[in-house]
């Protein structure tokens, strides 16, 4: 393993699909590996995951009415 986040393209654009589990296995693997190496993308991932959870919560509230 010589993974270096400096050489690796950042995965910000894939994070939304990653949170929704909409990537194929190869991309999921790449994003997961990148998140372990890259603090910046890891922080973005937390934000996207929180936004996604919030969205799911709002939808659940809508459905509850």
Options 15, 38, 45, 48; binder of Zn ion; rule CB under 5 A:
38
Does residue 41 interact with Zn ion by CB under 5 A? Answer: yes
Do 8 and 34 form a contact (C-beta atoms < 8 A)?
Answer: yes
Instruction: Select 23 or 38, whichever has its Cβ closest to Zn ion.
Output: 38
> Which of these ranges, 13-21, 22-30, 39-47, 53-61, lies near Zn ion under the rule CB under 5 A?
39-47
Site residues (CB under 5 A) for Zn ion?
Answer: 10, 38, 41
């Amino acid at each position: 393993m010589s993974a270096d986040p400096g050489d690796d393209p950042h995965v910000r654009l894939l994070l939304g699909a990653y949170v929704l589990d909409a990537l194929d296995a190869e991309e999921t693997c790449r994003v997961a590996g990148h998140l372990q190496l890259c603090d910046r993308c890891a922080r973005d991932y937390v934000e996207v995951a929180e936004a996604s959870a919030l969205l799911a919560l709002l939808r659940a509230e809508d459905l509850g009415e």
